[in-house]
A and B are shown apart, each in its own frame.
Chain A
Amino acid sequence: MSAYLVTNVSILGGEPTDLLLRDGVVAAIGSGVGFETGASAPSSTTDGEVIDGTGLVALPGLVDLHTHLREPGREDAETVESGTRAAALGGFTAVHAMANTEPVADTAGVVEQVWRLGREAGYCDVYPIGAVTVGLAGEQLAELGAMADSAARVRVFSDDGKCVSDAVLMRRALEYVKAFDGVIAQHAQEPRLTEGAQMNEGELSGRLGLTGWPAVAEEAIIARDCLLAAHVGSRLHVCHVSTAGSVEIVRDAKRKGWNVTAEACPHHLLLTDDLAETYDPIYKVNPPLRSRADTEALRAGLADGTIDIVATDHAPHPHEDKDCEWAAAAFGMLGLETALSIVQETMVDPGLLDWAGVAERMSYAPARIGRVADHGQPIEVGAPANVVLYDPSVRRVVDAASSASLSRNTPYAGRELPGRVVATFLRGKATVLDGRLT
């Protein structure tokens, strides 16, 4: 097994040091460590590759709690292989694959299939999310226990794309997953308030004649679900929080000590609804891009911990589903390869979050919420060598064509973003070196 010695690297932005990755673990940390350091196991190599880490930040491998890998069913948009390649390029070592595939991941069979495909791909670990209801239809609980007990060991359940809007069903789901320490990740969207909704409801939706997606449709569900989670003593995770009001509700729930976690997506941190003025559906996403005040509230919530994590909601779509008029286009945008850069731009560079904070929001906390043991651990001797090396000093222009995703629906094409993932290590094996897949 190969070893990597990263010299003069700044772990979480700290004082530069040397970092030895060997035998799948962090073997040594400290100035002057070499390949021979602590090489006791018979399998250990005493040589390997040296990477000059000068100017680089080492972060624990990122963990995404919200990825759409599209396989099975929409392999024209993404596969587990292509999606995990994009993930590795973005610095991720683990992703949670959403259940809205075709067929839906609502049985042990489908989640095991996705889990196996992830293992075969080898670019990052894939943790399937199970559907809450059969076929995402919102009528009958899927076999949550069977999925939890399967080889995929599902702990996160979500009907994402659809909201579990029935209050009784949501209550039962929250209660039921307590038996195996599961969590319900809710796509909070009151369906009747969002029939035909196309964009954030506000001044612009009225002017553009696009049906509005009001903030209240998200906030009403989050408020209800927080109350339900408190009532039954279970774990609720709120997907893609997009409004200032939602941040307030989650903040209040946490203050009360309720077991509620929440995520924000990079695009909701950076982009705003005025982009809809172009009628270019590359900016069409669900929940929609919101106002400047909302993005600011999300940033503040992410900074103070009200919002626990950043999750990408990476949602690949084939070209024709975006190369059309707004109303006919699919919701969703790519996110894996740009997430860290956007967090740097919106959170780190303005001083809202340091690199330790980034590690917490993009690695430790998502792993905790997903109950993933092998990821989201601090870079310490003996920990699994899931590490990303990131250069925050460079700037790059996003090129859609160079994405590892099979789809091209990035809203950032042509936009300059800070930072670049230089290397990603999954259990000590490089999946990305010098910014390229190995």
Chain B
Amino acid sequence: MKRHLLSAADLTRDDAELVLRTAEELRSLADRPIKKLPALRGRTVVNLFFEDSTRTRISFEAAAKRLSADVINFSAKGSSLSKGESLKDTALTLEAMGADAVVVRHGASGAPHRLAHSGWVRSSVVNAGDGTHEHPTQALLDAFTMWRHLGALDGRRVAIVGDVLHSRVARSNALLLQTLGAEVTLVAPPTLLPVGIDTWGVETSYDLDAVLPKADVVMMLRVQRERMNASFFPTAREYSRRYGLDGKRMRMLQDHTIVMHPGPMVRGMEITADVADSDRSVIVEQVTNGVAVRMAVLYLLLSGAEGVTGTDESENDA
């Protein structure tokens, strides 16, 4: 693997499969009474969150702690640190503190890229979501969840539905799932598909009902009601009617098809409560898998080794 994880495009198929296999090994930890490995003892992981995202931060924090890393949470919520220069200043501070990995969440697309490539820090940089660009660990945990349910993803059909234009989850998933051999269809009203999407190598559709019967996975993206104020769609009601996943549409799915959502959900908008809480829904499992996948990423970036639970001191340490 490369030194940083900035984009799902940084991962070769071998890299991605290594992360999934490692995550599978680590996931078994969750079932044990003591959930800690000494793998990253003495290493420092900084969670640098310029944007509020409790769920992602907690997931990374749990992942780092289960690998015995020291964790520093740096929440830069609010005004003084939301401006440009502070990214650099913060980075220099972190560098002085000897961070081995910086997990960064930022509202500006490319901020993790700048952190990694501007000579501000020497640590590994993990993109935990940047603007409307990417969220590679989300894609990894999504792929991991699909893989546990469906096995190898080659030829599997994944429908990603919703606000693709503003979605970093969609971008990372489109890249990673193709790397893993899946066939991706992005479904959205034309206003919510980015210009140039014809070069992404994915299928696109404006018609959810046409896509659902063939899908092995349906991933619903969050759609903010406020988008209607910018005329991306006329009303929330019309959006739900055309692109929301409700009980009626759920019955069009094949028996094995799973329903996913990266969260946080807008229930009643892109997904109805009965679908979110149904047997097909793996939304809660995605959260569990998130910790395992992030453990795998941190482990592989920081230790460079393979086979985390197979190393000498690990298992006995429990």
Residues on A lying within 8 angstroms of B by beta carbon are 198, 201-212, 214, 278-280, 320-321, 323-329
A326: which of B88, B110, B195, B197 is its contact (CB, 8 Å)? B110
Distance to closest chain B CB from A185 (angstroms):
29
CB distance A324 to B117 under 8 Å? no
Interface membership of B133, Cβ < 8 A:
yes
In the complex, what distance in Å separates the CA atom of A329 from the CA atom of B110? Answer: 12
Q: What residues of B have a CB within 8 angstroms of the CB of A204 in the complex?
A: 196
CB distance B109 to A326 under 8 Å? yes
Interface membership of B199, Cβ < 8 A:
yes
Which segment, of B79-87, B154-162, B285-293, faces chain A? B79-87
Q: Give 1 or 0 for each of B182-218: 1 = CB within 8 Å of chain A CB.
A: 0000000000001111011000000000000000000
CB distance A206 to B106 under 8 Å? no
A324: which of B88, B113, B130 is its contact (CB, 8 Å)? B88
Known contacts A209-B134, A327-B108; 12 further A-B pairs (Cβ under 8 A): A198-B109, A202-B196, A208-B109, A209-B109, A210-B110, A320-B85, A321-B84, A323-B118, A324-B85, A327-B109, A328-B83, A328-B84
Given A208-B110, A209-B133, A278-B117, also A324-B87 (CB < 8 A): yes
CB distance B196 to A326 under 8 Å? no
CB distance B196 to A327 under 8 Å? no
In the complex, what distance in Å separates the CA atom of A326 from the CA atom of B111? Answer: 7
Q: Which 4 residue pairs spanning A and B have beta carbons closest together?
A: A324-B84, A328-B84, A209-B133, A203-B196
Q: What residues of A have a CB within 8 angstroms of the CB of B132 in the complex?
A: 209-211
CB distance B108 to A328 under 8 Å? yes
Interface membership of B168, Cβ < 8 A:
yes
In the complex, what distance in Å separates the CA atom of A325 from the CA atom of B109? Answer: 8
CB distance B110 to A279 under 8 Å? yes
B197: which of A206, A212, A329 is its contact (CB, 8 Å)? A206
Q: What residues of B have a CB within 8 angstroms of the CB of A279 in the complex?
A: 109-110, 113-114, 117
Distance to closest chain A CB from B201 (angstroms):
11
Q: What residues of A have a CB within 8 angstroms of the CB of B134 in the complex?
A: 209
Q: What residues of A have a CB within 8 angstroms of the CB of B131 in the complex?
A: 209-210, 327
Residues on B lying within 8 angstroms of A by beta carbon are 83-85, 87-88, 106-111, 113-114, 117-118, 130-134, 168, 171, 194-197, 199-200
In the complex, what distance in Å separates the CA atom of A207 from the CA atom of B114? Answer: 16
Distance to closest chain A CB from B169 (angstroms):
11
Cβ-closest chain A residue relative to B167: A209
A325: which of B111, B168, B200 is its contact (CB, 8 Å)? B111
Interchain Cβ contacts within 8 Å, total number: 87
CB distance A329 to B84 under 8 Å? yes
Q: What residues of B have a CB within 8 angstroms of the CB of A209 in the complex?
A: 109-110, 130-134, 168, 171
In the complex, what distance in Å separates the CA atom of A205 from the CA atom of B111? Answer: 15
Cβ-closest chain B residue relative to A210: B109
Q: What residues of B have a CB within 8 angstroms of the CB of A205 in the complex?
A: 194-196
In the complex, what distance in Å separates the CA atom of A323 from the CA atom of B83? Answer: 12
CB distance B195 to A212 under 8 Å? yes
Q: What residues of B have a CB within 8 angstroms of the CB of A325 in the complex?
A: 84, 87, 106, 108, 110-111, 114
CB distance A326 to B85 under 8 Å? no
Distance to closest chain A CB from B237 (angstroms):
25
In the complex, what distance in Å separates the CA atom of A208 from the CA atom of B195? Answer: 12
Residue picked from A201, A209, A326, A328, most chain B C-beta under 10 Å: A209
Q: What residues of B have a CB within 8 angstroms of the CB of A329 in the complex?
A: 84
Please name 11 pairs of A and B residues whose Cβ atoms are closer than 8 Å in the assembled complex, sorted by A. A204-B196, A208-B133, A210-B109, A210-B110, A212-B195, A278-B113, A279-B109, A279-B113, A324-B84, A325-B84, A325-B110
Residue picked from A202, A211, A325, most chain B C-beta under 10 Å: A325
In the complex, what distance in Å separates the CA atom of A167 from the CA atom of B259? Answer: 50
In the complex, what distance in Å separates the CA atom of A214 from the CA atom of B194? Answer: 12
Cβ-closest chain B residue relative to A214: B195
Distance to closest chain A CB from B158 (angstroms):
19
Cβ-closest chain B residue relative to A327: B108
In the complex, what distance in Å separates the CA atom of A201 from the CA atom of B171? Answer: 16
Q: What residues of A have a CB within 8 angstroms of the CB of B110 in the complex?
A: 208-210, 279, 325-327
Residue picked from A210, A321, A326, most chain B C-beta under 10 Å: A326
Distance to closest chain B CB from A411 (angstroms):
16
In the complex, what distance in Å separates the CA atom of A214 from the CA atom of B197? Answer: 15
Distance to closest chain B CB from A192 (angstroms):
10
In the complex, what distance in Å separates the CA atom of A198 from the CA atom of B133? Answer: 13
Distance to closest chain A CB from B128 (angstroms):
14
Q: What residues of A have a CB within 8 angstroms of the CB of B107 in the complex?
A: 327
Q: What residues of B have a CB within 8 angstroms of the CB of A208 in the complex?
A: 109-110, 133
In the complex, what distance in Å separates the CA atom of A279 from the CA atom of B134? Answer: 13
Q: What residues of B have a CB within 8 angstroms of the CB of A280 in the complex?
A: 114, 117-118
Q: What residues of B have a CB within 8 angstroms of the CB of A214 in the complex?
A: 195
Cβ-closest chain A residue relative to B85: A320
Q: What residues of B have a CB within 8 angstroms of the CB of A327 in the complex?
A: 107-110, 131
Q: What residues of A have a CB within 8 angstroms of the CB of B196 in the complex?
A: 202-207
Q: What residues of B have a CB within 8 angstroms of the CB of A323 in the complex?
A: 84-85, 88, 118
B108: which of A202, A206, A326 is its contact (CB, 8 Å)? A326
Residue picked from A204, A205, A323, A324, most chain B C-beta under 10 Å: A324
Q: What residues of A have a CB within 8 angstroms of the CB of B87 in the complex?
A: 324-325, 328
In the complex, what distance in Å separates the CA atom of A393 from the CA atom of B113? Answer: 39
Cβ-closest chain A residue relative to B132: A209
In the complex, what distance in Å separates the CA atom of A133 from the CA atom of B210? Answer: 53
Q: What residues of B have a CB within 8 angstroms of the CB of A212 in the complex?
A: 194-195
Distance to closest chain B CB from A295 (angstroms):
18
Q: What residues of B have a CB within 8 angstroms of the CB of A201 in the complex?
A: 195
In the complex, what distance in Å separates the CA atom of A328 from the CA atom of B87? Answer: 10
Q: What residues of B have a CB within 8 angstroms of the CB of A211 in the complex?
A: 132
